[in-house]
Amino acid sequence: MKIDNFTSIVCRAIRKCGFPMLFNRSLQALGLLALGMATVRGLAHAESSPADSRTEALTAAKRPNVLLIIADDLRDRVGCYGNPYIKTPNIDSLAARGLRFDHAYVQYSVCDPSRSSFLTGLRPEQTRVWDNQTCFRDNLPNVITLPQCFRQDGYYTAGYGKVFHTVTANFAKWGDATNSWNDCREVQFDAAKAAYFDAMKKKPGDLHDEDFSREPQIVEGRNLTKNVLKWCYWGATAGPDSLEPDYQTASDAIAAMGKAGGQPWFIAAGFHRPHDPFICPKKYFDLYPLSSLKLYQDPDDMSKTLSLAIPSGLDFDEFQKFSTEDKLEFMRAYYACTTFTDTQVGRLLQALDERNLWTNTIVIFMGDNGYHLGERKWWNKVTLFDRCCRVPYILAGFGVQSGRVCEAPVELVDMYPTLLDLCQVKPPTNQTLAGQSFRSLLENPDGLGKGHAFTMVTRGKNDLVGRSVRTSRWRLTEWDEGRKGIELYDEVNDPQENYNLADNPKYSDLVKSLRAMFGTLPKITQNPNERSHILP
């Protein structure tokens, strides 16, 4: 029996026994054993043939597969990121098997702009997708997306669930069905959507021919704002997981692993949870009794929040009315949906085990943006604080070290060039990628990388821009190029970003040097068609 197959079989048996600690330690031991055997094989090969280039080596062997897993609105509240309350055994096991990035940052902290950025390899300044109502191809019709690039270079590509930000009425366009995928599907109309459309007094659009008699039924739940905010809703459903769209997304992705024939594959599974409305089976809510949860409290002496730092308007006003019970129910619903998503992640990982695919598959698990759970009295996204800009980011499998942690800042826009590098896929012509490959960090997780990450958001009808830069120690944020305020936080001594140091003369030189880094970013064009420097 090959050592790779032996490792996969034993790991699968240990996981099924339900011993996470043993599983994690066994992974490390088996990883060392596999590494030793691989070294022996490699030495024997080196004696019999001259060294080839990495491209030739990947051509001789099968190029690695890619499994991209995206969780919607998932912040760094998972077990392997130090949260003692939440139950995410499958994500935790993936981190034990691979490389956990502790400082991975989005380029815009909301769904559509973030995904449009990391799936095109361009920054939001370039895509000009700054809301959830803009399809990236309306601005960049000729852009080559990440899966499209793989498809053009011989990969079978399939995307299921919410990969690109989509709208129900025109999935083919928003899901980039024609350009990016050999196969794709998104199941949207579940009990959550039914409740949502009912509340909005609208009729659903394209229902993907789903059998509504098999929709999960909400048996418990409520709107936390008395229906003022239509999205702020949680519901516990009856019935098995298999009725839920995210379960079907995982099933579609698993089935696609056997559809590629002799081609390497790029499969993306985009889970809707823990995005609102917070709907999932009741058994996941039962894991989190309200009495077991602890709410975050801002310190009394924290710095005054700048006017643009937290979005104003109806959402913020409603959050200020939250009772303690409202807050606890919100947190429980978010946690329940996260654990439900973790279960679907486990099904994907088990499929890799059963098919012995780990040695030739790169797995990426990520959130598309972070989320506030009460910090600064905010219960949503679209800020430039670490809670919103930072996401869980884990790589495992082919070319990735096992059981390691990387502290260097990386950006989600770096994923595109990194995967091209690892898989030796030809980069798109006439399209300069904004990110930088972090393959060196996969080989040496203790490396420094490029040392910084940028995030932006906009405010108001006039799209007033806020930009933030994060280094290993500092976060510097400026609003309207500093005219509307500047923030500086010491992330080592103040990881919750409670104390703004920007006005302290002691840090004036630091503020100046960090602000200068924004000069390296692409110029924001006011006309989306003024993009000759990006695409032909």
Q: What is the pLDDT of residue 171?
A: 84
> What is the per-residue pLDDT across 131-157, written as a single tens digit (0 to 9) for each?
999 999 999 999 999 999 999 999 999
Q: How far apart are the first and last CA of the chain?
A: 52
- Is residue 195 scored above 80 in pLDDT? no
List, in order, residues 6 or more apart from 180 with CB less than 8 Å away: 145, 147, 148, 151, 157, 159, 164
> What is the per-residue pLDDT across 370-387, written as a single tens digit (0 to 9) for each?
999 999 999 999 999 999
Q: What is the pLDDT of residue 461?
A: 87
Q: Tell me if 441 sits within 8 A of 406, measured CB to CB.
A: yes
> What is the per-residue pLDDT across 155-185, written as a single tens digit (0 to 9) for each?
999 999 999 998 767 888 999 999 999 999 9
For residues 341 and 209, which has the higher predicted lDDT (pLDDT)?
Answer: 341
Question: How far is Cα 105 from Cα 276, in angstroms, rounded to an integer?
Answer: 21
Q: Quick one: pLDDT band at residue 214, thresholds 50, 70, 90?
A: low
Q: What is the pLDDT of residue 17?
A: 45
- Is residue 197 scored above 90 in pLDDT? no
For residues 18 and 154, which has the higher predicted lDDT (pLDDT)?
Answer: 154
**Partner residues linked to 459 by β-bridges:** 464
Over residues 217-228, the mean pLDDT reads 95
Of 46-60, 118-132, 142-156, minimum mean pLDDT range: 46-60
Q: Quick one: pLDDT band at residue 460, thresholds 50, 70, 90?
A: very high
Question: How far is Cα 373 from Cα 75, in angstroms, rounded to an integer?
Answer: 9
> What is the per-residue pLDDT across 312-353, written as a single tens digit (0 to 9) for each?
999 999 999 999 999 999 999 999 999 999 999 999 999 999
CA separation (Å) from 139 to 176, 263, 360? Answer: 14, 32, 36
Q: Quick one: pLDDT band at residue 209, thresholds 50, 70, 90?
A: very low
> What is the per-residue pLDDT across 87-108, written as a single tens digit (0 to 9) for each?
999 999 999 999 999 999 999 9
> What is the per-residue pLDDT across 58-67, written as a single tens digit (0 to 9) for each?
554 589 999 9
> What is the per-residue pLDDT across 235-270, written as a single tens digit (0 to 9) for each?
999 989 999 999 999 999 999 999 999 899 999 999
Half-sphere exposure in the Cβ direction for 388 (13 Å, CA): 28
Q: What is the pLDDT of residue 168?
A: 66
Task: Output the 3-class SS for 522-535.
Answer: CCCCCCCCCCCCCC
Question: How far is Cα 516 from Cα 513, in angstroms, rounded to an integer?
Answer: 5
